[in-house]
Amino acid sequence: MTHGKFVGLVATLGIVCGGLGHAQVGSESSTRAHVEFLASDALEGREAGSAGEQRAADYLTSELSRIGAVPLPGRSDLLMPFDFTGGSRDGGSSLTLSTALAGDRSFVEPAEIRALSFSDDADVTGPVVFAGYGLVVPESQNIGYDSYATLDVQDKIVVVLRYFPEDADQQTRAVLARYADLRYKAMAARQRGARALLVVTGPRSPNAGELVPMTFDTAIAGSGIPAASISGAVADALFASAAIGAPGAATSPQSSGGTGSPSALRDAQEALDAGNPHVAGFDLPGVTLSLKTAVVRERKTARNVLAYLPATVGAEAVEKPWVVIGAHYDHLGRGGKGNSLASQDEAHAIHHGADDNASGTAAVLAIAASLSERPRGRHVLIALWSAEEIGLVGSNAFATAPPVPLDEIAAYLNFDMVGRMQDNRLIVQATGTSPSWGRVLERANVAAGFNLVVQPDPYQPTDVATFNQVEVPSLAFFTGSHEDYHKPSDTAARINFEDLDRVVGMATAVVRSIGDTIEAPQFTKVDQPVSRGSVAGLRVTTGTIPDYASDAEGLLLGGVTGGGPAERAGLTKGDLIVEIAGQTIANIYDYTYALELLRADQPVRVVYVRNGDRLETTLTPVARR
């Protein structure tokens, strides 16, 4: 990925903009050309691992080389590739329905069966039970809904309806919707001993009879159970083959006798749709299912762009000779991975990501360009992350295999969504990570004149969280959310470039002040404040920070919040939680759902693995702020 390759790429794309290679040419703004290029249609939303991300990386390496930034010591170029789970597809799932009278009928993907993206790969055979909507609502919600209350699903294949009861009152629907996610349904079936889960979109539901799309799932690990969706035709064949109502067989609430029929599923769904928790599921006797699920998880490669401006004076004399400025440059592509907030008619349009985070990327480039022309007392590492949008994966890859020693980094400054300032208000987060920050920011803001809002909390949903976990004093610059967040309408035309350039000026002053001092800022661990008390029905926190890129079976901790329940329970980064409150944990999703069962200030047993040893502790959750 050389400069020449980038020039050829721009010519091939037919991009006519003389200022793209040199941000200041033809423009008073130091950031406009960067934002306009990164948020252009040509980059198609810069989704991690995509061709658009590659074009963005080529542009960034070209710009950094132009200002004299060089590869990090021991590296030959400016790219740090890393692999991640970029999607999944069905690898050949199938289903065979067997009855004593009618023999076998087989169904195969893609038309009649499709594995769910989180399914385990397996071949299983067993009897069948219909568990209604497969919903389990925690007691804290006070509606007492449990699809499994009267069912024995041990070693059986469970069939459930997608979504939640169609005709329930609005308040009940709002509660049930929280627990209708298919991963939650899979966990509920697994916890009760089911061999597999099949999901059907019922005849009274939206998208009736259609297979569930194999949506993006960032978890590398499966759900601990084979799971697939079946078409309406397959479900009708299954219900018609079952001897519902036969002598000695379990009888559905809406069936008065005889064998099943193609209308049996509709009848069952209609009875369930009122939301009455006492309408139960039932066995489908006389039928055996053999299910094969196969999921191919697609690995992709994304690229962090890393370079540095070597110190020009005295780096050997200072404490911790590196300061890092960073921003993520990836965005959502065309919004197909489930994190878009676009309306249905814009769902597959290019999500330009001008503020999120072409603005932050442009700020880092402009700061670096300014610093390249000045004396520097510390090395300035310029870090442009990819795969932030799917869980801080790029910055975590850096921290896991650091190209420079982490204990030699004096500070990290992060820029995420800094292009839409309102009322001259600049938010600086993570100020609690060092007692030095108050004085440094106050001095830098004298010339800038922002209405500065400081927030001590470093536990933010951006890359600053990664550096806080490795105890690097950090700051995160942010100008606030807006209605275009994660929508195609987040375009360069809506960026306030004058104020973005002012952010660049202030942040440059912050970096220079760090470089001008021999002592490095002292790191302070911030305790995350939480509310306490009797809070039945409120959500709780355990103070755990997941490692989103882990493929371990369980919840691998990327860290714990300072002073939080996990830290007080003795848990730490690298521990693998495999059980909490009696719920087995296969992945981050299981853990999230298990939190719904916890009560504030009520201790629970946690089983975890550390250095190969299986250990136990007691954790007391607290109410979320």
Q: How far apart are CA 335 and CA 333, in angstroms?
A: 6
Q: Is the pLDDT assigned to residue 25 strictly greater than 50?
A: no
Band (pLDDT 50/70/90 cuts) for residue 262 is low
Q: Is the pLDDT assigned to residue 104 strictly greater than 60?
A: yes
489 and 353 in contact (C-beta within 8 Å)? Answer: no
Q: How far apart are CA 38 and CA 595, in angstroms?
A: 39
- 70 Cβ partners below 8 Å, 6+ apart? 307, 308, 309, 310
Q: Where in the chain is the domain with CATH 3.40.630.10?
A: 3-81+299-515
Task: Give the burial class of 173: count Cβ atoms within 10 A of its Cβ; 0-12 exposed, 13-18 middle, 19 or more buried.
Answer: middle
- The reported pLDDT for the residue numbered 459 is 84
Q: Does domain 540-623 have CATH number 2.30.42.10?
A: yes
User: Which DSSP string do the residues of 118-180 spell out, in sequence order?
Assistant: TPPPEEEEEEEEE-TT--B--GGGSS--BTTTT---TTSEEEEESS--TTS-HHHHHHHHHT-
Calculated CA dihedral for residues 447, 448, 449, 453, nearest 10 degrees: -130
Average pLDDT, the chain: 87
Q: CATH assignment of 92-293, given 3.30.565.10, 3.20.20.70, 3.50.30.30, 3.50.50.60?
A: 3.50.30.30
Which helix (H) or strand (E) segment holds residue 88: the answer is strand 79-90
Band (pLDDT 50/70/90 cuts) for residue 261 is low
Q: What is the mean pLDDT of residues 74-88?
A: 91
Of 228, 220, 143, 217, nearest to 179 by C-alpha is 143
Over residues 301-343, the pLDDT tens digits come to 999 999 999 999 876 788 899 999 999 999 999 987 767 888 8
Question: Who has greater pLDDT, 375 or 9?
Answer: 375
Band (pLDDT 50/70/90 cuts) for residue 220 is low
Which helix (H) or strand (E) segment holds residue 186: the answer is helix 182-191
Q: What is the mean pLDDT of residues 17-40?
A: 69
- The reported pLDDT for the residue numbered 217 is 57
Q: Is the pLDDT assigned to residue 171 strictly greater than 70?
A: yes
Cα 103 to its chain centre, rounded Å, is: 45
Most confident of 162-166, 252-256, 323-327, 462-466: 323-327
Q: CATH assignment of 3-81+299-515, given 1.10.150.250, 3.40.630.10, 2.60.120.200, 3.40.50.1100?
A: 3.40.630.10
Q: Within 13 Å and on the Cβ side, how many CA atoms surround 12? A: 8
pLDDT > 70 fraction of the chain, expressed in percent and rounded? 88
350 and 45 in contact (C-beta within 8 Å)? Answer: yes
Assign 513 to helix, strand or coil: helix
Helices (H), 347-496: 360-371, 393-400, 437-448, 464-469
Band (pLDDT 50/70/90 cuts) for residue 243 is low
- The reported pLDDT for the residue numbered 242 is 84
Of 183, 149, 189, nearest to 277 by C-alpha is 149
Q: Where in the chain is the domain with CATH 2.30.42.10?
A: 540-623
Of 575, 315, 323, nearest to 467 by C-alpha is 323
- The reported pLDDT for the residue numbered 246 is 35
Task: Report, in angstroms and rounded to the nearest whole number, the Rg of the chain calculated over CA atoms.
Answer: 27
Q: Where in the chain is the domain with CATH 3.50.30.30?
A: 92-293
Q: Is the pLDDT assigned to residue 185 strictly greater than 90?
A: yes
Confidence (pTM): 0.71
Cα 114–117–118 angle (5° rounding)? 120
Q: Is the pLDDT assigned to residue 428 strictly greater than 60?
A: yes
- The reported pLDDT for the residue numbered 348 is 87
Q: What is the mean pLDDT of residues 382-400?
A: 93
Q: What is the mean pLDDT of residues 596-625?
A: 89
322 and 411 in contact (C-beta within 8 Å)? Answer: no
Q: What is the mean pLDDT of residues 478-493?
A: 94
